[in-house]
Structure 1
Amino acid sequence: MKKVDLANAGLLMLIPLTMIGFSASIHAHNSDISTTKAAEVNKIGETIDTEYSGNTELNQGKMRPLYFQASRVFSVKYRTVNFKTVLDEDYKEEKLYRYVPGAKKNNRTYSWKKIKAHTGKKVYVDKKAKAYYRDDDGERESEDFYRIRVSAKKTANRYWINEDAIDD
């Protein structure tokens, strides 16, 4: 009986020693573990947080900014229209878009040179979109966009523009 008790006591002593050794090995390899700093408080217009990366070869334990753009558009409603109009004299202050701004994550913009734009240039409008968003004060706002093409052909390239770029 004494040999069994002695063996049990030996095993019971190994359990705490194993736990201490395991804990020490975790702390020794802590440099491999990447930790993240809590996100800083952001206003709606500011979209930069920071992340802390542990001591890796690439980051060397430095703070680096995380850039992302949060879309303030929460709804877009489309409707079909069909009319001709011309570019307004202030069209250069606006942009040509592939999609309604805020409707897609990666929206491409184009130069006005692409369509050989000038004040009074005839454009064909086939869609209207109303984008609903929240402004910096949190109030609901909306913006109208029109899908235009510069040719009468239905298969011509189409672009989205702000309502301020055309005479309506």
Structure 2
Amino acid sequence: MTKSILHLGLAAALLTSLASPVLAAEPSVLGSEGAWTAFGGTDPKECWAVSPPKSSKNTDAEGNPKEVTRSDIRLYIAYRPGQNGEVSFQGGYPFAPDSTVDVTIGSNSFKLFTEGENAWTGSPDEDAKLISALRAGTDAVFKARSSRGTHTADTFSLSGITAMTNKAKESCK
């Protein structure tokens, strides 16, 4: 199977299962590179780069592997006209109340606040710092805890993130 067919398959899967920042209008695929795909919507105008994790590890409180069922796990960077990017993480389960998601990219670390199944930085300045680290990194690990006490570690490849965040940002000026 060629790389472009794989990207089209990923794009189709993301379009059908996407719990994206926007669902008001049917999004269009802007491009795909590495582990990332860029989408754009027109009503409202918003574009985003998105990736599923390359691996996920689920453990109990003692660190023992645990079988769990999770819905879609995604890392998004959204752009709107006149705004810089906004990072959001969809964990695929309800996060523990008042918990945070710990993000590690190389020697950089960040904390995201949680609500339901989603997490954000909480400020444009933190978004800018996190996006810069993501674009400079190789992998990002998102560690969190579910409302049932499961500990998760989702690793995202950052291959293609720069090209796709550039594409999303340019498309939503």
Q: TM-score, normalised by structure 1?
A: 0.21
Higher share of residues assigned strand: 2
Larger Rg: 1
Q: TM-score, normalised by structure 2?
A: 0.20
Larger RCO, structures 1/2 (Cα 8 Å, 6+ apart): 2
